[in-house]
Amino acid sequence: MKNYKHIKVTPISTAIGAEISKIDISMDLPEPVISEIRHALLEHLVIFFRDQDLSDPERHRIFTRYFGQLFIHPNFNMGQKDPEMVYLTRKPGDKAVVGETWHADTTMMKAPPMAAILYALEAPKYGGDTLFSNQYLAFESLSVGMKQMLNGLKAIHNDARVAGPKAGFNSKRTTQVREDDGWTLTENAHPVVRIHPETKRKSLFINSTYVQNIKGMTVEESAAILNYLYEHATKPEFSCRFRWRTGSVAFWDNRCVQHLAINDSNNATRRMQRTQLLGNDVL
């Protein structure tokens, strides 16, 4: 573990996740602090901040830009003034929430986003937690034979399940996505085993939200392999659970993490504000 001089880093599980304290990320940050935050992200895969104020979207954007360029999500771009900011809201009566199946974000893109920064504008007293899973450990714990089989394979990722006229989410939840007839499918093939561009570690890079099949195999042929990997990749021993409070921030490395939003806040309101960082490596 790195000896941090400017921030305090407290792991929250053995597998993944750390809370960062002794810092106000709504303020202008000097390079040594930014460097330590980046290092903590690479070391712990997802990092959390408490009692922050990013309610001004520009402060949220400024913090995000310390780590790269902002990404505009094609399915949440509904013609709003600020397409770089996505608002994820759950209100009483909603039957669904964004992200309630295990996934990495927006992996159908040719260069998937490298990270996301999610801020709680309003969190319920309990419920609405988020789970995160370490995909390095998911790969490293596989058998030698399985690793050898997966190396070199690619999976087809697209957004057919999460957007477009057949998705059917807008009738179930407050947060809206493009379901208009002008929507077009985005699809790309990515390695099943991904090499992280900074750490050089191998991780699983598949998820049940976006992956359709293994390239060169039918959906039926792929299912046995993929279903095993989906279950394996999200084992409790690879994961952590984060309980939100208003003013909390989660910053995760989308290249080696899956996450899931738990839809259990029932009659409470949950309002979140999210940016994503542009991916800079085409897989």
Catalytic residue chosen out of the listed positions 38, 157, 178, 274:
274
Give ∠ CA 17-106-117 in degrees, rounded to 5: 40
Q: Return the residue matching tokens 């893109």.
A: 109
Q: Up-side HSE of residue 137: CA atoms within 13 Å toward CB? A: 20
Q: How many CB atoms lie within 10 A of CB 160?
A: 14
103 included as an active-site residue: yes
180 included as an active-site residue: no
Which distant-in-sequence residues (6+ apart) come within 8 Å of 43 by Cβ? 1, 2, 9, 18
Give ∠ CA 25-31-35 in degrees, rounded to 5: 80
CA distances from 107 to 142, 206, 225 (A): 22, 9, 19
274 included as an active-site residue: yes
Structure letter (DSSP) for residue 237: G
Dist. CA 250–CA 228, nearest whole Å:
28
Catalytic residue chosen out of the listed positions 44, 60, 73, 103:
103
Q: Which residues pair with 249 in a beta bridge?
A: 49, 119
Catalytic residue chosen out of the listed positions 38, 44, 90, 105:
105
Dist. CA 176–CA 180, nearest whole Å:
11
159 included as an active-site residue: no
Catalytic residue chosen out of the listed positions 173, 178, 259, 270:
259
Task: Indicate which residues carry an active-site annotation.
Answer: 103, 105, 259, 274
